Amino acid sequence: MPLPPMLGDCDSGCDPVTNSGSSSPQNGVPDAGTSTTTTGDASMCGIADSHVVTSDMLCAPCIVANCCSQDTSCTATCTSLLDCTQECASGDVICLGGCENMWTGGLTAYQAFIQCVQQSCTTTCPMLMQ
C-alpha cells in the first residue's frame, strides 16, 4: 500500500498538499451523490476515469494507462452520460435509453470509452452499461 504524500515544511507556511493524481471538484465542494475513487492523472488524460464509481483503487490508473485517448474524448462530451448510466440498475435498458436520449452528443465517445475500459480493465473496473 503506497504511503500518503509527504507534508510540506509548515515552518514557512502550511499550504494544503494536493494529490496531483486526482481531479478536484470546483470550489473544493464534491458533487452530491457521487462517490468515486481515482488515482488517474487528469493532466495527461481526461477526467472521465474519475467518474467511474468503484472502490477499486486500480481502476482509474488502468484507464489512464490503457484508454487515455478515450478518457480525453469522453471528458469533453460524455461524463454526464457516464454519470447517468451508472445510476441505472444493472440491465435496466429503459434507464440506459433515457440517459442515451438525454446526452446524445456524448454517445459515440461514451461507447468508445466503455468498450476500452471493458477490454483493458476488466479485473479492476466495474462493468459499465452499454
- The predicted-structure confidence for 54-91, as pLDDT tens digits, reads as follows 999 999 999 999 999 999 999 989 999 999 999 999 99
Which tens digits make up the pLDDT trace of 15-63?
333 333 333 333 333 333 333 333 444 467 899 999 999 999 999 999 9
CA of 49: how far to CAs of 45, 72, 78, 91, in Å?
9, 9, 11, 22
Is residue 65 within 8 Å of 124, Cβ to Cβ?
Answer: no
C-alpha cell recorded at residue 101: 436520449
pLDDT band of 95, cuts 50, 70, 90: very high
Strands (E), the chain: none
Q: What is the pTM of this model?
A: 0.66
**Best CA proximity match to 113, nearest among 49, 56, 65:** 49
pLDDT reported for residue 130 = 85
Residues 61, 40: Cα–Cα separation, whole Å: 5
What torsion, rounded to 10 degrees, do the Cα atoms 51, 1, 45, 71 define? -40
Which tens digits make up the pLDDT trace of 104-129?
999 999 999 999 999 999 999 999 98
The alpha carbon of 75 is separated from its chain's Cα centroid by a whole number of angstroms, namely: 9
